[in-house]
């Protein structure tokens, strides 16, 4: 085992809180922490070479895909051997350091079955899916339509005579495009198509369709292929799918809510929002992933920033400075670190809210469904937006080496780049949340029922009349003051939006609804402000809830949540100054408070990333190694490049093919000089 870089050792010894306590807090307590350490050992590449990642940068797409399937096979063995629950299973998958098609089967396909199949259908299909006797994917997006699900073109026409549905892609733009695990892996699909009965269109409904038969070959009438290289996620087989009048039995329509009888009678669910469950579940999962992926990137960037020395050397003092000691490096990385831990509290709050609502829906109570849908939509958009931006900033903070795939960060950025788009493109989600807020404001003003989560809207006049009375940093970061500030900003923007909509609607040909198209920017801004408020509320609730139970880690987590709040206000300081909720003195106090927070975080930075216990194999990073031997790793990994291995064998790739002619000038004798 290689020795640890002395700079990292020194930093770890100076951390001001017990790292083990923070680790247990992150991973769910002492017992879960111990269990997860055992799970991590199951994918140790030193014991099980199939999980190695140090050569993945050199693999072709086909070999990378096969490597992924080899991991899949071993992982399924583990799942059955140890009877892993959901939390342990997804932790094990994440510890491999690579996306796996299992995620698409277990996170999308199975929840769709569970959420939308009838009890009778579940008895048939769910055991097959959970046993991996069939492998499924979620097939919704088409070439011509993604976010606008209502305009999907694939049809499912009921055939009375045979009691079947005819699945068909009638146009070129109706070809299904993008579903993960479709091109080569899946045997079945949850296909979303327009339900047609006797010429009448009943809208989009899901159907389970078998795609492949003997020897995994596509069934008649089904054309499947790979959509080609992507920005990232290239070990996953995203594909296209074209149906040419494929027949399926009637009972393969998902019938938990909507149903079609043998005589072709269509019945609707008791409430349209009952079908929101799968969408919300996917967004909650993405919100949970935001802190995890950003934590990985920052683990790399902060470890490297402790090892890397640059500048400040003079003739009298030849020692260069550790780059993490530069204030602006701290500003970049610690602000992002505040996002990680703030989001950790948000994810717990969102998961709890989702589980409570899920139980209510199961009992027939859908009163909170629209609230959870709107909140999860907006939070998914803001969390992925902030996490993506922070990841790229961390890559830049690593300088030139951050641009190398060996840093591990580009791969993570490439993978995470899908999240602002999948499960609802962020702008669309902001607009959905905005419509929910507009409706709630109108209801409150007209004396109609208002969601409990938005009850404060009834006090709009009082909220807008208030101004901050805080005079110190301590007063500004008081949890109640944080919530009041963000609530004021959101409420003012919402009230202003409503006023502007009313003015615009007077001259708009489509009236009030049509006027919304002229205020899309404002609607997005209102939604974003609302989500910042939710984040500040939930993170403050979360950090205060551990004040007594975790007194050793509370102070540093409190500092991080405060830093997130301060940056949220400073980012939009103009909006707080516009109506004098805050004044210039408040802004000065917040700016000074941010700098003080950076100083408090600095000695604890390494502990805040080490606590996540990311393995070197999971990070796949020369820069983020636990031992800090960055430069040796960069050199040794570069030596593994096939181009370098060929050169060691005397094969100078490119020379005999082209360069030899360029250097000797022979190729120039073939040309005939002429003027253009």
Alpha-carbon distance values, 161 to 166, 195, 210, 246, 538 (Å)? 12, 17, 21, 15, 55
Torsion of CA 466, 472, 474, 478, to 10 degrees: 0
Q: How many CB atoms lie within 10 A of CB 435?
A: 15
Give yes or no for a contact between 52 and 615, defined as CB atoms under 8 angstroms apart. no
Tokens 């080569």, residue?
184
Tally DSSP H helices, then E strands, for the chain. Answer: 26, 11
Tokens of 624: 């983020």
Catalytic residue among 288, 423, 575, 613: 423
Element (H, E) at 31: helix 30-41
Q: How far apart are CA 667 and CA 658, in angstroms?
A: 10
Contact 645, 325 (CB under 8 A): no
**Within 10 A of 670 (CB to CB), how many other CB atoms are there?**
6
Query: Any catalytic annotation for residue 423?
Result: yes
Within 135-273, strands assigned E span 136-139, 155-159, 164-168, 176-177, 188-197, 200-210, 222-226, 239-243, 246-249, 259-260, 266-267
213 assigned binding-site residue: no
Residue 192 contacts residue 254 (beta carbons within 8 Å) = no
Q: Where are the alpha helices (DSSP H) in 42-196?
A: 61-82, 86-95, 101-104, 110-116, 119-130
Separation between Cα atoms, residue 608 and residue 596, nearest integer Å? 17
Q: Is the dihedral of CA 661, 662, 665, 666 positive or negative?
A: positive
Residue 54 DSSP SS3: coil
Q: Which two tokens stand for residue 611?
A: 């606590």
Q: Angle 164-170-171 (CA atoms, 0-180°, nearest 5)?
A: 160
In angstroms, the CA 546 to CA 190 distance is 42
Contacts of 72-77 with C-beta under 8 Å, sequence gap 24+, read: 72/100, 72/101, 72/102, 74/48, 74/50, 75/100, 75/102, 76/102, 76/132
Long-range contacts of 56-64 (CB under 8 A, 24+ apart): 56/98, 56/620, 57/405, 57/406, 57/411, 57/637, 58/640, 58/641, 58/642, 61/229, 61/234, 61/235, 64/234, 64/235
Output the 3-class SS for 482-512.
HHHHHHHHHHHHHHHHHHHHHHHHCCCCCHH
* Bridge partners for 190 per DSSP: 138, 208
How are beta strands 164-168 and 200-210 bridged, if at all? unpaired
Is 141 one of the annotated binding-site residues? yes
- CA–centroid distance for 587 within its chain: 32
**Contact yes or no for 553/561 (Cβ under 8 A):** no
- 602: which 2 tokens? 């600095």
Nearest to 522 by CA among 548, 495, 557, 547: 495
Q: 3-state DSSP call for residue 124?
A: helix
Tell me how far apart the alpha carbons of residues 471 and 660 are, in angstroms, rounded to a whole number. 74
Beta bridge pairs of residue 156: 167, 195
Contacts of 519 (CB under 8 A, 6+ apart): 497, 500, 501, 504
Query: Which residues 6+ apart lie within 8 Å of 249 measured at CB?
Result: 163, 164, 165
Residues with a known catalytic role:
423
Q: Which residues are annotated as a binding site?
A: 141, 180
Q: Which residues are annotated as a binding site for FAD?
A: 141, 180
């Amino acid at each position: 085992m290689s020795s640890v870089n002395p700079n990292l050792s020194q930093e770890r010894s100076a951390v001001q809180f017990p790292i083990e306590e923070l680790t247990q807090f992150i991973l769910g307590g002492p017992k879960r922490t111990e269990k997860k350490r055992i799970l991590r050992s199951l994918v140790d590449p030193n014991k099980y070479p199939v999980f190695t990642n140090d050569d993945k940068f050199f693999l072709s797409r086909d070999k990378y895909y096969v490597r992924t399937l080899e991991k899949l096979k071993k992982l399924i063995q583990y799942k059955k051997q140890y009877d892993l629950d959901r939390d342990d299973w997804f932790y094990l998958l994440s510890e491999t350091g690579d996306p796996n098609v299992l995620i698409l089967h277990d996170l999308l396909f199975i929840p769709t079955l569970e959420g939308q199949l009838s009890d009778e259908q579940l008895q048939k299909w769910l055991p097959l899916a959970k046993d991996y006797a069939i492998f499924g994917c979620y097939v919704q997006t088409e070439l011509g339509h993604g976010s606008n699900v209502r305009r999907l073109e694939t049809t499912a026409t009921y055939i009375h005579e045979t009691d079947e549905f005819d699945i068909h892609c009638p146009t070129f733009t109706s070809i299904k495009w993008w579903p993960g695990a479709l091109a080569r892996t899946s045997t079945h699909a949850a296909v979303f198509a327009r339900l047609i009965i006797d010429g009448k269109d009943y809208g989009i409904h899901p159907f389970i369709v078998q795609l492949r038969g003997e020897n995994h070959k596509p069934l008649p009438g089904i054309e499947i292929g790979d959509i080609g290289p992507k920005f990232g996620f290239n070990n996953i087989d995203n594909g296209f799918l074209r149906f040419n009048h494929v027949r399926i039995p009637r009972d393969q329509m998902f019938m938990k809510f909507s149903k079609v009888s043998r005589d072709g009678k269509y019945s609707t669910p008791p409430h349209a929002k009952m079908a929101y469950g799968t969408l919300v579940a996917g967004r909650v999962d993405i919100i949970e992933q935001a802190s995890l992926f950003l934590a990985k990137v920052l683990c790399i960037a902060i470890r490297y920033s402790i090892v890397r020395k640059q500048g400040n050397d003079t003739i009298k003092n030849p020692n260069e400075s550790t780059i993490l000691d530069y204030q602006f490096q701290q500003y970049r990385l610690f602000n992002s670190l505040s996002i990680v831990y703030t989001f950790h509290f948000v994810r717990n709050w969102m998961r709890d809210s989702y589980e409570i609502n899920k139980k209510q829906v199961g009992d027939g109570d859908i009163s909170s469904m629209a609230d959870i849908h709107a909140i999860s939509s907006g939070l998914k958009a803001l969390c992925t937006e902030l996490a993506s931006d922070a990841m790229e900033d961390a890559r830049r903070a690593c300088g030139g080496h951050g641009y190398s795939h060996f840093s591990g960060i580009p791969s993570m950025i490439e993978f995470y780049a899908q999240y602002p788009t999948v499960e609802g493109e962020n702008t669309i989600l902001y607009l959905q949340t905005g419509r929910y807020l507009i409706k709630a404001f109108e209801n409150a003003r007209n004396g109609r029922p208002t969601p409990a989560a938005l009850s404060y809207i009834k006090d709009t006049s009082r909220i807008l009349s208030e101004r901050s009375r805080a005079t110190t940093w301590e007063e500004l970061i008081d949890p109640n003051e944080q919530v009041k500030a963000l609530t004021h900003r959101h409420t003012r923007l919402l009230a202003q939006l409503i006023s502007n909509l009313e003015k615009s609607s007077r001259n708009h040909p489509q009236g009030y609804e049509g006027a919304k198209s002229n205020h899309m920017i404002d609607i997005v801004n209102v939604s974003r402000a609302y989500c910042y408020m939710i984040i500040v509320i939930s993170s403050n609730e979360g950090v205060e809830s551990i004040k007594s139970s975790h007194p050793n880690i509370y102070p540093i987590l409190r500092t991080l949540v405060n830093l997130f709040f301060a940056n949220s206000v400073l980012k939009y300081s103009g909006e707080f100054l516009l109506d004098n909720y805050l004044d210039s003195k408040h802004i000065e106090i917040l700016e000074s408070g941010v700098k003080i927070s950076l100083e408090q975080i600095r000695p604890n930075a390494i502990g805040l990333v080490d606590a996540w216990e990311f393995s070197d194999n999971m990070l796949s990073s020369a820069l983020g190694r636990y031992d800090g031997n960055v430069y040796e790793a960069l050199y040794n990994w570069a030596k593994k490049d096939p181009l370098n291995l060929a050169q060691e064998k005397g094969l100078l790739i490119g020379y005999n093919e082209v360069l030899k002619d360029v250097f000797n000038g022979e190729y120039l004798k073939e040309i005939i000089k002429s003027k253009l």
